[in-house]
Each structure stands twice: as structure tokens, then as C-alpha cells.
Structure 1
Amino acid sequence: MGAREVRRGDDEADRGTLVTPSAEFPPLGPEERAALSRIGERWRAPRGPDELPVDPTLGRNRPGPTPSRFGRLTPIDMFTVEEPDELVAAEPANLPGSRAGRMLTRLRRVLVGPPLSSSAVLYERMRKVVALPILSSDLLSSIAYGPEAMLAVLVLAGSAALGLSLPLAALLVVLMIAVGLSYRQTIPAYPHGAGSYIVASDNLGTTTGLAAAAGLMLDYVLTVSVSIAAGVHAVTSALPGLAPATVPLGVLAIAVLLAGNLRGVRTAGNIFVLPTYAFVVAVLALLVIGYLRAAGRGFTAVPPPTVPAVEGLGLLVVLRAFASGAVSMTGIEAVSNAIPAFRRTEWRNARTTLSWMVAMLVVLFVGLVGLIHLNGLAPRPGETILSQLGRVTFPVGPWYALLQAATALILLLSANTAFNDFPRLLFFMARNGHAPRRFLHLGDRLSFNNGLVALALAAAVIFAAFGGNTEALIPLFAVGVFLAFTLSQAGMVVHWRRHRDRGWRRRLAINAVGAALSGVVLLTAGIGKFAEGAWVVVIAVPLLVLLARRIQRHYATLHHALALHPPPSAGPAPPPSASGSAPGGAPPGPAGSAEGEELPQEVRHLVVVPVARLNRASLRALAYAASLGQPTLAVHIAPEEAESDRFREQWRAWGDHLRLETIVSPYRAVIGPLAHYLEALHATRPELTLTVIVPEVVLRRRWHRPLHSRAEKRLRGALRALPGVVVTSVPVHPPE
């Protein structure tokens, strides 16, 4: 057993549920592997694999400097050796060749950090003490605006309706515990990642899973927008002079969060640990001091300010207040989505962290609602209710400022939960073909950079569109998250009915209660807040599902077109016949196209060289084409007959070594006639592979590029859509 196999065996147990960079390169299935073997049996290469004019190992056992791309010697080795049959690229070899590119790369490394090796993914995982603040920041920070959202609905029925906050808070606590217990038992049932998308897809079908994923995506984007809006509001409540700069401050905060998360999971965790714990300590201090002051007056509630009623107190108002207060639960699903990010044993550590989160949420939420009631506070424009409570509890000293600072920090950084889970959700969707595959890629710091950037851009656009108004964003908030809650818990009900493990009835009952309560909030939020903006989410969810379906259909079609299929017969293939048909009388490929040829002996060439003028670049392209030993045709586009005749004279002076075809373009177009001519050639003999060799002058300086037409790039774009056409460039590097 080689060293590579030993490493694989040692790492296999540690990888477990871990997301690795290899996920971007899925292996072949059994049928494709069998087809590959049958194709290989018929493969006849023009020369053996070892008959190369260079040493492909680059003298891997030879020490010393390695030449760079521009011929200069560099003191570092671009490759190292870890296996007899493989080279490993050294990290500095990834530096761009241009000076500007190197400067940008170094600046990026200062901001984001140096690249991490793929093997470091085993260690970029979180301990519980770090995972708790990272994954609970969204959940715990929501108590800064969740109670206020509930009271903002109740106050519409007048100040007398504010007394309903206590029974509604009790119902919300029941909902929190039910959903928390539901997710607690979902985690060990799906230890590879128990997100709503996976659970709903597995038990309720792909479409339902995509609906849950759409709800979660909207939830994560709105989490960032709402958290940043609430954080900026906390800042402007303490410093009203900054209110006009709400949108720039919010966009700046999103950019800072993006930069922090691009540094990787572990580094981001170290950055965001302190603010979460500081907020918890600040709120606990607020509750202790506040209840001590209330005890001094015998827990007598202060009457709230008189507020006239603008709506009648009815069931709809109560249900809307309940749904608004339920936004205090957003983020409760974060742990189940991030199971692979925990250290071993992943699901056990995730479940413990979730229990801590729910317990802290219940204590802080109940404590704040009760203290707000005892102090007779009501929502008012220009200042958050938590800020009001802080002023009443800490009338003197620096404590109010510390509370507001901690609140602003946790609200601004609570969006980090979405930055942790949104890219991971896109990864799972992309793995199933329901999202672009670029979201499978791990960046330099082993973070999902594409998902992080997508989240930051979407959240910044929504934040700016709503002007950073928390109240305007919250109605959009509850529908998506409770859609995911409901479908996830309903999926777990089906899961327990299918598996019927020990104690499945009790587990089913817990998940059923969680699904029912979440469904009530979902319907209430969707109906009661439809006119306030929830209609956006109601419309966006099916559109996202449809988009995911279309993406999956595209990938399925592409996979079917590119999948390996066994050749018609397993025996060695004879040379192609004069008619161009494939061996054994079978057509050469799909619709008779040269693109269906998979064996070297099946490929028939025609090399075409567009020549504008006879100079060093075109002669080098002609020489390269002739060296291939295939039929070669030169093509010249002339604007008029006189120029065509003049070029033919030059061609004969050169020696007329290759067949020349001239095309007169009286309207002076070049790319169009050439592309149509090549398309006509291909239509005449579709079994031919047309290799178009284009001379290309490589310009080292960017400011030189506007001085040239860059026709080769336009030609490449025009020919890209033609099947059976290969475009290659012969570069010529003029001196500086």
C-alpha cells in the first residue's frame, strides 16, 4: 500500500460529514466507468504515452530554482514531490504574471489571508464554544427587534392591547421549545447536514425541498438586511446625527462581514466570538438590574403611555402580533445546516450547541418581554424599545452606552450566521444540480467565496432598496423562515413514519407539534402581512423553485450529452471509410457530427488558417498548421477584387505552398463572411473536424490593446456556436 492510500485511510474517519474541495469533481458512475474501459480498449494513439520530446516530470528529483513564465529564475520551486507519479504545485506558483495582477493578489492576501491547503479543511472546523456565538448570533440578536415587532402590531389597537404581550410571549416560548426540540432530534437523524432543503427533499419530494430551500435563501438574505438595519438603527438611536448615513453605514457593514468571512470559518469565528458573548452579558446585566429595580417597587407595572387605537383589537391583530414576535426565532435552524462545520463527533456537538442556544433564547426573550411590560414601554419612532429600556435601567453611567454598543455589534454581526449557512445551502443545492456549480468551489481560505459574494450583493441591494428600514423589512422576514421550518418538521414526521426506530412515536409527535405551530405562523404571516410586503416572498418562492428546476434540467441535459457511452462494438476499430462514416457502419456521432468521435482513428481533420496579410505572425501560423501533417487551407478576406489579386500575387511569391481561397467582401465585413464560409464547409462535410488556427499578437501592456482590432477574439466568439469547429491561437510575442 502506497503513502497516498495510507493517507486516505487515515483521513477517511476524520472526514465523515465534511465538505471537501473534491466535491467539485464528482466521480464517474459504474456505467460510465464501464464505457470508459470499452473506449480505452479501442483507443489507438499516434504514439505511445512515453514517447514525448520533453520530460513531463520536470526533473522532479532535481533540486534548484525553476524558471518562471518569463524565463527569469525565481528562488522558489514551483512544484514539490509527494508521490513518485505526481507533482504538487507550490502556493507561490499561483501568483499572476503581470505586475498589476501580483499587486492585486498581494493586497487580497493582506485582506483575506494566505491560501490554505486543501488538507486544512479537516482542521477548519468549529469547537462548541466558538460555534455557539457564530451560529447563535442571528438567533440571540433577534430578541433586540423581535419583542418590538410584536409590540408594534399590538399598539395599533391602542395602549391597552400591550398587555397581551405576556400571553403571546408564553405562546412564543412554547413554539421556541417545540421547534428547538424538533431540530434537536432532526440533527442525529441527518448527521450529514439536517437543513430544511435536505430533510424536505428526502421525505416530501424534490419540489417541496426546493420550496424549503427558496424560503431559506430568502430568510438568509433578509437576515443580513434586517440585522444590519437593526444594528444601524441601534447606532442612530444613540447617535441621531448619523441617521442620514443609514444606507452607507449598512452597506459598509455588509462589506466588512464579507471580508471577515472570506478569511475562512475558523478565522471568522475568532472575529465574531466576542461581540456575541458581550451582548449576552450586557442583556443579562440589563435584566438583573431591571428586575432588581422592579422588585424595589413590588413588581408593580408602570402604565404604558396613552396611544390611540387605529385598528380594532381582533383575532387578526393578535395573530399578526404573534407572527411578528416569532421573528425572534430566526436562526434556530442554523445549527442543523452547519453540522459538517463542527468537530467530531459532528452531530453530537451540533445538538449540544442547539440546546444551549434555545435555552439562552428563552431566558433572554422572556426576561425582556417581562421587563418591557413592567416598565410600561411602547414602540416609538426614532428609538428602539431596547434603547428605551436601557435608558430607564441605566439612567447614569456608561452602562447604557455599553449596552447600545453591544447591541449594535451583535446586530451588525448577527448576519454572520447567514454568511455561514447560505453558501453551504447553495453548495448542497449545486451538488444536486439545482444551483450553479460555481457554488461548489472552495476559495483560497476554504470558504465558499461565490456564495458569500452572492449573499452580500443580494442583501446590500435589498437593504438599500428599503432604505435600511427595519419595520419595512420584517414583514418579508417571517414567511420564508417559517416555510422552511414547516416543511422541515413535516418532512421529519414522514421520516419517523418510514423508519419507525425505537421511540419513533414520541419523536413523530414532537415534530408534528413543531410543524403545526410553524404552519400557523406561516399562514398568519403570509395572510396578515401580505399587503405589507409578504407578497414579495409569496411570489419569489415559486419563482426560485422554477429557476432551480430549469437549472437542474440544463445540467441533466448537459450530463446526458457529455456522458460516456460504450462504442458500438468492443473490437478494434478499422480506419474510417472514404465516406466519412464511423467504424462498423455506425454514424460518427450525434447527428453525424465530428463531435461524436471519441477515438483518435475516427477523427478526420481540415486545418483552416485565416490570413489577413503575409507577415511574421501569419507565416508562423501557416508553418504551425503545415507541421500537423493534415490537409490545410488558407483563407483570405479581401474588401475588393483588386486587393484579392494583389494578395494572390504575394502568395505566389511566397511559393504557393498551401491551397489558398480568397473571399471578396464588398461590404468590408471580415468576421461574418469568414464564419459563414467555415459553417458552409462544415455543412458540406459534417464528419470533418475543422481546426481554425488564428495568429494572435500578444500585447504585454494594457494600454496597447485599444490600438488593435483583436479580430481573433471576435472570430473565436463567432465560431464558438459551431459544432465540430476547434479554434486555436498561435501567439506571437513582439518585443516590449
Structure 2
Amino acid sequence: MGRRSGGDDAAERGTVVTPSAEFPALSPEELAALGRIGERWRSPARPGQELPVDPTLGRSRRGPAPSRFGRLAPIEMFTVEEPDELCATEPAHAPRTRLGRGLGRLRRAVIGPPLSSAAVLYERMRKLVALPILSSDLLSSVAYGPEAMLTVLVLGGSGALGLSLPLAVLLVVLMIAVGASYRQTIPAYPHGAGSYIVAGDNLGRTPGLAAAAGLMLDYVLTVSVSVAAGVHAVTSALPGLRPVTVPLGVLVIAVLLAGNLRGVRTAGNIFVLPTYAFVVAVLAVLVVGYLRAAGRGFAPVPPPQVPAAEGLGLLLILRAFASGAVSMTGIEAVSNAVPAFRPTEWRNARTTLGWMVGMLVVVFAGLIVLIHLNGLVPRPGETILSQLGRLTFPSGPWYGLLQAATALILLLAANTAFNDFPRLLFFMARDGHAPRRFLHMGDRLAFSNGLVALATVAALIFVAFGGRTESLIPLYAVGVFLAFTLSQAGMVVHWRRRRGAGWRYRLILNATGATLSALVLLTAAVAKFAEGAWVVVVAVPLLVFVFDRIHRHYATLHRALALHPPPAGAGAAQRPPPAEGQELPQQVRHLVIVPVARLNLASLRALAYAASLGQPTLAVHIAPEDEEADRFREEWRAWGDHVRLEIIVSPYRAVTGPLAHYLDALHASRPELTLTVIVPEVVLRRRWHRPLHSRVDQRLRTALRALPGVVVTSVPVHLSE
């Protein structure tokens, strides 16, 4: 990734996320090399030779329908865009089988019809839609964050619950500091200010990958924890559903996946109402609760006596602080998704983040104080927000509405991870640290591969932990605060390098956020190490190692495929390059090889195709014994011996191995030769026919593709039934 030196450099790395990102342009050096190669490139076709088919497909007239897709895609599926360019008006051809067509209709019903690439500009989010999509994780965390803090404090006895107020003050300071820091990060990195990019540009590749690993773990756990908390809210109101906790959670993850596969705008329309409903419901609880507290002079109700299970020490307090800090997970979501906003992207993103942080502080602080005033303590079987709802609304439908809104936002809070996780993988894949399949946009202009990967891993973790929120929380804070710390530390370096107007103020603000985030990170890693945080501590360096190995592979691939100018001079022309290094038509030297098992229509068609190429041709037959070799030689002479035949006797009856070794030996003797292996292939129309055939041709192609300087092609023979 390398180091960068400011927002301008970051802007160069940033890009509007479009389907074209999957096809990066050539570098200036490669373009120059391409031009030099083209100067020496000579086509084997004669100048002015016409093609035997009209490549325009008769643009101005209706032509015959293609035979394979005649029932499905008439020729009008192409329209003229440029003089030498056609545009497909249909997204894909329909499957030929009844089952395939049925699955296609089901897929379209669940995901929706495909969207054109041009629609990516309209799949952006306005602020009122972006707020519920990106804040659902942040706001929903107040449904379990305060309870997570109180659950640790109550281990020190009822008296320790009084520490919830000073701890809440520290957490509010942390929320404001980190939120303000990310508000600065957004305009500095207007093309996407994820911790991965910020840390990588300013601290180096390894810190950037560490931040990415922490974010990935955070997003996966966001889905698992949010769904677990949502299911817990449902089972608190409906205890009869507790036996089906795990299947219910997996079903919710599947529904979230389907909703996000429909695209950003559709997902936003789905998740707007639950988020706003939760905010209204919690604000109603706060208003009614404080009015009742005012009626008794804000005198706190003493909590029930709970015996101390642990001594009240610094370690217990730090654990409680780290547990309460999960209330701010998701605060980085807006900075990761800046390109998803409508123009002006960074301005709308910063405004949305300001709204989110303000709402978080009001709701979190209001709930902590109200819980303290009512003397509530965590208890098994019912969330503390549910207890507060029952106390605030003892009658009427309001408690049910609160629980329904809480359950919905907790279940849908995972949508923040579904929005940001694929984008993180996109940026990592663009830099070569993740598989390039994550650059691909699906039918609905969503990163389908990233969405499926997130849902799969999150579902596995949810099932492995039995859907228990308390078991997942200890894993939660380490990854996200590692990303917070590295991102804010990166911004400190960023401001020191740029030194623009007001850089000292900005540096101090980001340094404060980095320091507080590092404090939470160390506290969570140490205090919760034995409770499960060790999994994240071990997973982060392992993921960094995997990302580095992926990058090495792509770097090797780029070096192998990068364009280099051909060597100049007569001496270079006299030394033919190896088959894998041929870039000019005049450098290619052919030897066509046809494996022949028996002389039938498929073999004769392959031999005819090979001979039509006008290149030296060799037929190879693998015989299990000498008698069969003599018999085949006689048949070959009866055919006319039109092609040179070489017979290999394989007394152990192997076919693929001897042929592959023979071709390897041929290539070693003449490395400059390109061995074109033409394999006859019988194409079966029905799948149930496949077990009736040995499929030697497929095994042969698989083995030969591994050999350098070997080109494998097939001559198919289609069965009519």
C-alpha cells in the first residue's frame, strides 16, 4: 500500500465505487510498452482479408435468432452504441431447464430485476435514508451496551452500581471525542475514510491491514451480536420462542442478506421505519420516565440487594468501562461509506455523523441515568431495557411497541455491517489484499460476494455461540477499538504532514480520540482476555498474515502479466523466446497434438480441425498393451496415415499421466514451441448421462492446463438426445 502524505494523495487512491473498478486501467508504463509491442506486431492474416461473418450482426436489420438461445433472446437484444460497439439490452439469457427457470424466477422475486451499470449514480443515499441505514448499529447498541456495563458492575454488589454514572460520563466524553475525530476524517478523506485507508496511508501497510482485520471482525460480530440481542428481546416478550433461538437468528440473517442483495436504496427503504420507530420509542420512555422521576423529586429508588461475587477493584471497573464502550460500535460506519452518499458526498456524510453522535449521547446518557433513578439491575431472562419499559408503561400497548421497535432495530442493526463490510473488502481487493472477486458488483449493484461472505461467517459464529449475547460481547470491543485507535493515530500523522490552517487543533482532537480508544482497547484486551477476547487478539495477526500472502500472490501475478517491450535488435530476433514469453505473432511456433483414443467421429472431427489450422500436427494414442497398439496402427493405416502418429504403451493402463509427461518432455526439448492440444469432447445434454461416461477428456484438460507452454482446446460433438 505504501505511505501517503495527505488528503490529495488519499483522493488519488479513492475512487467512486462503480462496476468499472473491477477492470483497472493500464499504467502509463504499460501503455508505453503496449505501444512498442504494437509497432512490431504483425497479424498472420493477410491485409484487407475479410471476415467470413458479419460481426455487426446486421445492426440495421433483423437477423436470424441464435440457434442456442432462439426461444429466449432474439437478435434485438443488441443495440448500436458506437460504430464498432454493441450494447446488450438483456441482462442474461434464461436457463434452458424447467428447474433453472424456476430458480431464476425465485431469485428475481427475492432480489429483484437486474439494474444497469448506469443506475449506480441513482443508488446513492440521501441523509434521511443514510441515517437509519448507517446508525442502526450505533443506536441499537444502547439496547445492550448499558446492560453490559451494569452486568459487570453488579459483580461487585449493589453498591458498585453507583459507579455507572461516572463511567457513563467518561463514555460520553469518549463518544464525543471519537465522533468529532471522525467528523474531521471525512473531509480529509472524501472518497472513503475507513480505518484501513487512513491507517494504511499514514502509518504504513501493516497498521492498515491490522485496522482492516479489526474492522472485519467487528462487522462479523456486529451481525452476530445484533441478531442475538434482537432475538433476546423477542424471547423476553415471548418466552415460548426461546427453544428456537438459533433457527430464528439464522432466519433473520438470511432475511438481511436478501434485503441487502436488492441494493442500497431498496435496503434503505426497508430499514428506515424500524430505526426511527426505535428512536421515538426510547425517547418516549425517557420523557415519561423523567416526568415520573420528577414527581418524586428525582429521588433514586434503591436497587435490590445483590451480594458481591468479586471484589470491587480497578480491574472490575475497567472491565465495566470496556463493556459499556460497545455502546459506540458503529460510529465509524459513516466514514467508511462516504461514496454511498449523494453529492456533495463528504458534506452529507459529516452532517449525518453529527446527527448520529448527538442522538447516541442523548439516548445513552438518558438511559443510564433513568436506570439509576429506578434502581434497576440486570437479571437473567429479561433485558434491562425491557424492565425499564415495563416500569415506564405498566399498562397499555406501549411496552409491546417498545419491545417490537427494540427487537426490530437490533435485528436490523446488522445492516450497518452489511453496508460497510463489502465496501471494506472492495478497497482491500482493489489494493490486492483480498480476493478480486470482491470487486464485482452483482445484479443490483451491490457487492454480492462480500454480502454472502459476511452472512455466512456471521451465521456460523451465531450458531457456534448458541445465540447468546453475553458470550459474544467480550469478543466485540477489541477489534473495533483497534480500528478506532489506528485510524485516529493515522489522522495525527496526517495533520503533522499537512500542517494546514488549524492543524494543531485538529491534531489534538484526533490525538485525544486515539488515546481514549487505545485505553479502551488495552482494557478490553487485558480484562476480557480470558473471557474470549483472546480469540480476537490471535485472529488479527493471523488475518494480517493472510492479507499479506494474498498481496504477494497478486504482486507475483502482476509481474508475470505486466506488459514489457519486446527485445530489440537482430540478435534478439534470432533467439526465439519460450512459449510462455511470446507476445508477437511471428514469434509463435506451433505443434498441434491430438490425443486419439479410438477412431470415431469425434476423433476424426478433432483431426480435421487440427489439419485445417495448417500447422505441424501430431496424433498420440495411449495403448494399454502391445497387441492393442498393433491393432490401432493397422486402423490408422486403413484411414490413410494422413497425420504422423505416435503410440505410447501404458502397461499400467494410465492415460492422463503418461500423456502429460510426454507433452512435458516435448516442451522441455523445444521450449519455444507452443503445444496446442486439441481434445475431442462428447457434450451430453442430460446431467444423468454423465455418470455413464468416464470423462477422460475433462481429467486430461485439467492435467494439461498445469503444463507451461501448452494450450488446450476442445472440439465438441453434441449428442442429439
> TM-score band (shorter)?
over 0.9
Measured in 1, the distance between the counterparts of 2:92 and 2:527 equals 58
Name the structure 2 match of 1:650: 635
Name the structure 2 match of 1:19: 17
CA contact (8 A) 2:91 2:114 kept: no
Q: TM-score, normalised by structure 2?
A: 0.96
Name the structure 2 match of 1:671: 656
Measured in 1, the distance between the counterparts of 2:321 and 2:117 equals 47
Shift of 1:104: 2.2
- Compared CA separation, residues 49 and 418, structure 1 to 2 (3 A): farther
CA contact (8 A) 1:78 1:92 kept: no
CA contact (8 A) 2:66 2:75 kept: no
* Residues 553-632 of structure 1: pairs in structure 2 closer than 5 A: 553-569=552-568, 583-586=572-575, 588=577, 593-632=578-617
Shift of 1:681: 1.4
Q: Helix, strand or coil for the counterpart of 2:715?
A: strand
CA contact (8 A) 2:72 2:94 kept: no
Measured in 2, the distance between the counterparts of 1:711 and 1:494 equals 60
Name the structure 2 match of 1:129: 128
CA contact (8 A) 2:618 2:643 kept: yes
Name the structure 2 match of 1:637: 622
The runs of 5 or more residues in structure 2 that have no matched partner are 1-13
CA contact (8 A) 1:145 1:328 kept: yes
Measured in 2, the distance between the counterparts of 1:469 and 1:112 equals 30
* Residues 363-378 of structure 1: pairs in structure 2 closer than 5 A: 363-378=362-377
Measured in 1, the distance between the counterparts of 2:44 and 2:353 equals 62
Shift of 1:64: 5.8
Name the structure 1 match of 2:146: 147
Measured in 2, the distance between the counterparts of 1:40 and 1:585 equals 19
Name the structure 2 match of 1:328: 327
* Residues 385-404 of structure 1: pairs in structure 2 closer than 5 A: 385-404=384-403
CA contact (8 A) 1:634 1:658 kept: yes
- Compared CA separation, residues 109 and 71, structure 1 to 2 (3 A): closer
1:532 matched to 2:545? no
Measured in 1, the distance between the counterparts of 2:169 and 2:160 equals 16
CA contact (8 A) 1:21 1:442 kept: yes
1:732 to 709, 714, 717: 717
Name the structure 1 match of 2:707: 722
Measured in 1, the distance between the counterparts of 2:144 and 2:48 equals 67
Measured in 2, the distance between the counterparts of 1:646 and 1:585 equals 44
Shift of 1:585: 3.8
* Residues 177-576 of structure 1: pairs in structure 2 closer than 5 A: 177-569=176-568
Aligned residues: 709
CA contact (8 A) 1:626 1:632 kept: yes
* Residues 702-721 of structure 1: pairs in structure 2 closer than 5 A: 702-721=687-706
Q: Helix, strand or coil for the counterpart of 1:669?
A: coil
Deviates more, 1:669-678 or 1:453-462: 669-678
Name the structure 1 match of 2:83: 84
CA contact (8 A) 1:147 1:325 kept: yes
Shift of 1:17: 4.8
Name the structure 2 match of 1:9: none
Name the structure 2 match of 1:12: none
Deviates more, 1:63-72 or 1:597-606: 63-72
Shift of 1:124: 0.6
Identical positions, percent: 83
CA contact (8 A) 2:246 2:466 kept: yes
Letter in 1 for 2:41: W
Q: Helix, strand or coil for the counterpart of 1:232?
A: helix
Q: Helix, strand or coil for the counterpart of 1:80?
A: strand
1:32 to 18, 25, 30: 30
* Residues 89-168 of structure 1: pairs in structure 2 closer than 5 A: 89-168=88-167
Shift of 1:62: 1.4
Measured in 2, the distance between the counterparts of 1:201 and 1:159 equals 46
Deviates more, 1:45-54 or 1:544-553: 45-54
Q: Cα deviations across residues 209-257 of structure 1 (Å, max 9, x unaligned)?
A: 1111110000000000000000011011111111111111111110100
Name the structure 2 match of 1:41: 39
Q: Helix, strand or coil for the counterpart of 2:621?
A: strand
Q: TM-score, normalised by structure 1?
A: 0.94
Letter in 1 for 2:27: G
Q: CA RMSD in A?
A: 1.6
CA contact (8 A) 2:430 2:439 kept: yes
Q: Cα deviations across residues 393-436 of structure 1 (Å, max 9, x unaligned)?
A: 11111111111111110000000000000000000011111111
The runs of 5 or more residues in structure 1 that have no matched partner are 1-15, 575-581
CA contact (8 A) 2:66 2:74 kept: no
Q: Helix, strand or coil for the counterpart of 2:54?
A: coil
Runs of 4+ in 1 over 6 A off after TM superposition: none
Measured in 1, the distance between the counterparts of 2:332 and 2:62 equals 53
Q: Helix, strand or coil for the counterpart of 1:135?
A: helix
Measured in 1, the distance between the counterparts of 2:496 and 2:163 equals 38
- Compared CA separation, residues 49 and 353, structure 1 to 2 (3 A): farther
Deviates more, 1:393-402 or 1:218-227: 393-402
Letter in 2 for 1:584: A
- Compared CA separation, residues 75 and 367, structure 1 to 2 (3 A): same
Shift of 1:67: 2.6
